Amino acid sequence: MKITDDFLYKTIKDAKNIAIVGASTNPERPSNGIMKFLQKNGYRCFPVNPNENEILGEKAYKSLSDIPEHIDIVDIFRKSEAVPPIVEEAVAINAGFIWLQEHVYSEEARKIAENNNIPIVMDLCIFKEIQRLNVLN
């Protein structure tokens, strides 16, 4: 599936629940800053990190399957080689969209998502795309 700017804009604009896989309590980490930005702009964030109990005031989940809400976007901040099983789990919970952050790329993950008709982008920063596409105005 070809992901157009219009499709990305609509996906981000319509999203309500975003899982942040690899979310961190460390304010120096990109996942922390982006989660904070998303929260500030009205998105409900579900941090996924098995080593944390709470991140930025939200309960942290051990895995995607532990989240009790439907997830519109799974935003993944993990090393590329760790991504395929996360995408399999995103498929299992019927996530709406899979987003691999900058420098995260996996052909195997792309195939898993596409074979299950879930749109996926790789090596893109959701914050930069929100700015570029002017989603918040």
Q: Which domain holds residue 119?
A: 5-132
Q: Which residue has the tokens 């590329």?
A: 80
What is the predicted pLDDT for the residue at 87? 98
Query: If pLDDT is split at 50, 70 and 90, which confidence band does 48 have?
Result: very high
Asked if residue 89 belongs to a domain, the reply is yes
Which CATH number belongs to the domain containing residue 52 in this structure?
3.40.50.720
Residue 26: half-sphere exposure toward Cβ, Cα within 13 Å? 7
Number of Cβ within 10 Å of residue 123's Cβ equals 12
At residue 1, does pLDDT exceed 80?
no
Asked if residue 75 belongs to a domain, the reply is yes
Put simply, whether the predicted model's pTM sits higher than 0.75 gets the answer yes
Q: What's the structural domain count of the chain?
A: 1
pLDDT tens digit sequence for 21-47: 999 999 999 999 999 999 999 999 999
Asked if residue 87 belongs to a domain, the reply is yes
pLDDT tens digit sequence for 65-103: 999 999 999 999 999 999 999 999 999 999 999 999 999
Asked if residue 125 lies in contact with residue 8, where contact means CB atoms within 8 angstroms, the answer is no
